Amino acid sequence: MDNILLRILLDSFERQQKPETGASPGGPFITISREYGCQANVLAESLSRAIAAKGSHWRIMNKEIILEAARELNLDPDKIKAIEGSMERGAMDEILSSLTTKYYKSDRKVRQTIANVVMSAAHTGNVIIVGRGGAAVTMGWPNALHIKLTAPVQWRLDTLIARHNLKREETVKQMASIDHKRFKMQRDYLKGGIDINDLYDLVINCSKVTHPEIVGIVISMLESRKMI
């Protein structure tokens, strides 16, 4: 695991608040939000390679890296996942009882810690942040490109079944649950009733646009904005 992300997570557990308002965030960075069935991690890998070909190295920050960092800090990754994906606020404190005393946090504080991890990575810059409410957490930050991957339900369902050999009924339930959790994560990080759809610079229908085409579009935008 990238040690810098471990340091970011450790720092986030030690501090209690977001970076001060008015601070000058670093960057550049990309956030990728997606509906279930759209392959954000695959796209992130392709983008990272394309950016590297332009002479710049960008890290990828996804769920797996955050969970590995949690393991390094003697936190139970399953507890973090449960809090992050919980349907209601304030209901997860009992789940946290197995965390080490040093890092015991309430539901709200763990959610804030996840946000702090994302913000710290974005501030460091040269990073592609997959999920984790990244667009909402860093809303209004400069040097950012926020991408949303979407597709019709039937296309996502067919793709998931073909890709993972899943049963249709179970896949429908899983899709509805995960889409709702991801929507709720973004909404919970937003303030003042802002429309979630206003977060994104680029919304792409994955049933119509291929990953190579998306990479070409994104690279063009990064160059136009002088982010690479």
Tens digits of pLDDT across the chain (228 residues):
445 555 555 555 454 444 444 444 677 999 999 998 999 999 999 999 999 999 999 999 887 666 665 665 566 666 666 655 543 333 334 334 444 444 444 556 666 767 777 888 898 899 999 988 889 889 889 999 999 999 999 999 988 888 878 788 888 888 888 888 777 767 777 665 677 778 899 999 999 999 999 999 999 999 999 999
Any domain includes 106: yes
**Is there a domain that residue 100 lies in?**
yes
Is residue 173 in a domain? yes
* Residue 133 falls inside a structural domain: yes
Q: How many structural domains compose the chain?
A: 1
CATH of the domain at 126: 3.40.50.300
Instruction: Give domain status of residue 36, yes or no.
Output: yes
Give the domain range for residue 168. 3-16+26-224
Question: Left if phi > 0, otherwise alpha if psi is -120 to 50, otherwise beta: which for 2?
Answer: beta
Residue 33 near residue 146, CB atoms below 8 Å: yes
Which of 102, 101, 117, 107 is closest to 79 using CA atoms? 107
Question: What are the distances in angstroms from CA 202 to CA 1, 135, 165, 205?
Answer: 30, 11, 31, 10
Taking the whole predicted model, whether its pTM rises above 0.85 is answered as no
| 21 inside domain | no
Does any domain span residue 158?
Answer: yes
